[in-house]
Protein backbone atom coordinates (compact mmCIF):
# COMPACT_ATOMS: atom_id res chain seq x y z
CA UNK A 1 0.00 0.00 0.00
CA UNK A 2 1.10 3.54 -0.59
CA UNK A 3 0.28 4.86 2.87
CA UNK A 4 -3.40 5.27 2.01
CA UNK A 5 -5.82 4.10 4.66
CA UNK A 6 -8.32 1.71 3.12
CA UNK A 7 -11.35 0.69 5.12
CA UNK A 8 -13.85 -2.03 4.31
CA UNK A 9 -16.47 0.71 3.86
CA UNK A 10 -14.44 2.49 1.13
CA UNK A 11 -13.77 -0.81 -0.65
CA UNK A 12 -17.47 -1.71 -0.56
CA UNK A 13 -18.44 1.74 -1.78
CA UNK A 14 -16.06 1.59 -4.74
CA UNK A 15 -17.03 -2.00 -5.51
CA UNK A 16 -20.73 -1.10 -5.31
CA UNK A 17 -20.27 1.91 -7.60
CA UNK A 18 -18.41 -0.22 -10.15
CA UNK A 19 -21.13 -2.87 -10.01
CA UNK A 20 -23.89 -0.26 -10.34
CA UNK A 21 -22.09 1.46 -13.22
CA UNK A 22 -21.80 -1.84 -15.10
CA UNK A 23 -25.47 -2.66 -14.50
CA UNK A 24 -26.57 0.78 -15.64
CA UNK A 25 -24.38 0.59 -18.74
CA UNK A 26 -26.14 -2.68 -19.62
CA UNK A 27 -29.54 -1.04 -19.11
CA UNK A 28 -28.59 2.00 -21.20
CA UNK A 29 -27.14 -0.05 -24.06
CA UNK A 30 -30.21 -2.32 -24.04
CA UNK A 31 -32.27 0.80 -24.73
CA UNK A 32 -30.45 1.55 -27.99
CA UNK A 33 -32.09 -1.03 -30.33
CA UNK A 34 -35.44 -0.77 -28.59
CA UNK A 35 -35.65 3.02 -28.76
CA UNK A 36 -34.03 3.21 -32.19
CA UNK A 37 -36.18 0.65 -34.00
CA UNK A 38 -39.30 -0.29 -32.02
CA UNK A 39 -40.44 2.99 -30.47
CA UNK A 40 -40.75 4.89 -33.79
CA UNK A 41 -42.88 2.21 -35.49
CA UNK A 42 -46.02 3.79 -36.86
CA UNK A 43 -44.53 7.29 -36.69
CA UNK A 44 -42.25 9.10 -39.10
CA UNK A 45 -39.44 9.42 -36.54
CA UNK A 46 -37.14 6.52 -37.36
CA UNK A 47 -34.20 8.72 -38.42
CA UNK A 48 -34.47 10.84 -35.28
CA UNK A 49 -34.77 7.76 -33.06
CA UNK A 50 -31.81 5.94 -34.58
CA UNK A 51 -29.48 8.95 -34.48
CA UNK A 52 -30.52 10.03 -30.97
CA UNK A 53 -30.27 6.47 -29.62
CA UNK A 54 -26.82 5.89 -31.12
CA UNK A 55 -25.53 9.19 -29.73
CA UNK A 56 -26.96 8.41 -26.28
CA UNK A 57 -25.48 4.90 -26.37
CA UNK A 58 -22.08 6.33 -27.35
CA UNK A 59 -22.29 8.82 -24.48
CA UNK A 60 -23.08 5.94 -22.12
CA UNK A 61 -19.97 4.06 -23.29
CA UNK A 62 -17.85 7.20 -22.92
CA UNK A 63 -19.23 7.83 -19.44
CA UNK A 64 -18.39 4.27 -18.39
CA UNK A 65 -14.91 4.41 -19.91
CA UNK A 66 -14.00 7.72 -18.28
CA UNK A 67 -15.92 7.91 -14.99
CA UNK A 68 -16.87 4.39 -13.86
CA UNK A 69 -16.60 3.87 -10.14
CA UNK A 70 -17.32 7.52 -9.37
CA UNK A 71 -20.42 9.36 -8.24
CA UNK A 72 -20.22 11.45 -11.42
CA UNK A 73 -20.76 8.32 -13.54
CA UNK A 74 -24.01 7.65 -11.71
CA UNK A 75 -25.19 11.22 -12.22
CA UNK A 76 -24.35 11.13 -15.93
CA UNK A 77 -26.06 7.75 -16.29
CA UNK A 78 -29.18 9.20 -14.65
CA UNK A 79 -29.20 12.06 -17.17
CA UNK A 80 -28.73 9.60 -20.06
CA UNK A 81 -31.59 7.43 -18.82
CA UNK A 82 -33.85 10.48 -18.75
CA UNK A 83 -32.58 11.37 -22.22
CA UNK A 84 -33.87 8.01 -23.45
CA UNK A 85 -37.23 8.90 -21.90
CA UNK A 86 -37.20 12.21 -23.77
CA UNK A 87 -36.28 10.47 -27.04
CA UNK A 88 -39.12 7.99 -26.60
CA UNK A 89 -41.63 10.74 -25.83
CA UNK A 90 -40.50 12.80 -28.81
CA UNK A 91 -40.45 9.83 -31.19
CA UNK A 92 -44.04 8.93 -30.30
CA UNK A 93 -45.34 12.47 -30.55
CA UNK A 94 -45.82 12.93 -26.82
CA UNK A 95 -47.91 9.83 -26.17
CA UNK A 96 -48.70 9.61 -22.47
CA UNK A 97 -47.60 5.97 -22.37
CA UNK A 98 -44.03 6.98 -23.16
CA UNK A 99 -43.98 9.26 -20.12
CA UNK A 100 -44.19 6.21 -17.85
CA UNK A 101 -40.60 5.40 -18.79
CA UNK A 102 -39.60 8.39 -16.66
CA UNK A 103 -40.94 6.74 -13.51
CA UNK A 104 -39.28 3.43 -14.30
CA UNK A 105 -36.03 5.22 -15.13
CA UNK A 106 -36.01 7.15 -11.88
CA UNK A 107 -36.70 3.90 -10.02
CA UNK A 108 -33.71 2.27 -11.76
CA UNK A 109 -31.38 4.96 -10.41
CA UNK A 110 -32.01 3.59 -6.92
CA UNK A 111 -29.55 0.80 -7.72
CA UNK A 112 -26.80 3.32 -6.95
CA UNK A 113 -28.08 3.71 -3.37
CA UNK A 114 -27.34 7.43 -3.61
CA UNK A 115 -30.08 10.04 -3.24
CA UNK A 116 -28.13 12.56 -5.32
CA UNK A 117 -28.36 10.34 -8.41
CA UNK A 118 -32.13 9.96 -7.99
CA UNK A 119 -32.48 13.73 -7.60
CA UNK A 120 -30.33 14.34 -10.70
CA UNK A 121 -32.65 12.11 -12.75
CA UNK A 122 -35.75 13.88 -11.44
CA UNK A 123 -34.23 17.33 -11.91
CA UNK A 124 -33.18 16.48 -15.47
CA UNK A 125 -36.70 15.61 -16.55
CA UNK A 126 -38.17 18.58 -14.62
CA UNK A 127 -35.82 20.98 -16.40
CA UNK A 128 -36.62 19.27 -19.70
CA UNK A 129 -40.33 19.89 -19.18
CA UNK A 130 -39.84 23.49 -18.08
CA UNK A 131 -37.71 24.32 -21.10
CA UNK A 132 -39.96 22.53 -23.59
CA UNK A 133 -43.10 24.11 -22.13
CA UNK A 134 -41.53 27.56 -22.43
CA UNK A 135 -40.53 26.81 -26.03
CA UNK A 136 -43.97 25.48 -26.89
CA UNK A 137 -45.73 28.48 -25.35
CA UNK A 138 -43.53 30.79 -27.43
CA UNK A 139 -44.32 28.78 -30.59
CA UNK A 140 -40.67 27.79 -31.07
CA UNK A 141 -40.32 24.97 -33.57
CA UNK A 142 -36.64 23.88 -33.76
CA UNK A 143 -37.63 20.32 -34.68
CA UNK A 144 -39.96 19.93 -31.73
CA UNK A 145 -43.00 17.88 -32.58
CA UNK A 146 -46.07 20.06 -32.07
CA UNK A 147 -48.02 16.91 -31.13
CA UNK A 148 -46.10 16.82 -27.86
CA UNK A 149 -47.57 20.16 -26.92
CA UNK A 150 -50.52 20.01 -24.52
CA UNK A 151 -51.55 23.41 -25.84
CA UNK A 152 -53.46 24.02 -29.08
* 4 within some domain: no
In a domain, 83, yes or no: yes
Give pLDDT, residue 1. Answer: 46
User: Is 117 within a domain?
Assistant: yes
**Is the pLDDT score of 51 beyond 70?**
yes
What's residue 134's pLDDT? 81
| Per-residue pLDDT reduced to its tens digit, 6-29 | 444 545 488 899 999 999 999 999
Note the pLDDT of residue 135: 78
pLDDT band at 150 (very low <50, low <70, confident <90, very high): very low
Domain count, the chain: 1
Q: Which domain holds residue 122?
A: 9-148
Convert the chain into a string of H (helix), E (strand) and C (coil).
Answer: CCCCCCCHHHHHHHHHHHHHHHHHHHHHHHHHHHHHHHCCCCCCCHHHHHHHHHHHHHHHHHHHHHHCCCHHHHHHHHHHHHHHHHHHHHHCCCCHHHHHHHHHHHHHHHHHCCHHHHHHHHHHHHHHHHHHHHHHHCCCCCCCCHHHCCCC
- Which has more pLDDT, 30 or 137? 30
2 is a domain residue: no
Amino acid sequence: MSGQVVTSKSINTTAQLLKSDKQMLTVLLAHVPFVAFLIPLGHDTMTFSVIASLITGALALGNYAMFRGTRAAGCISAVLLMLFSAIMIQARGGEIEMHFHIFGGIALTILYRDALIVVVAAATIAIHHLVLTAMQLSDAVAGINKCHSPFP
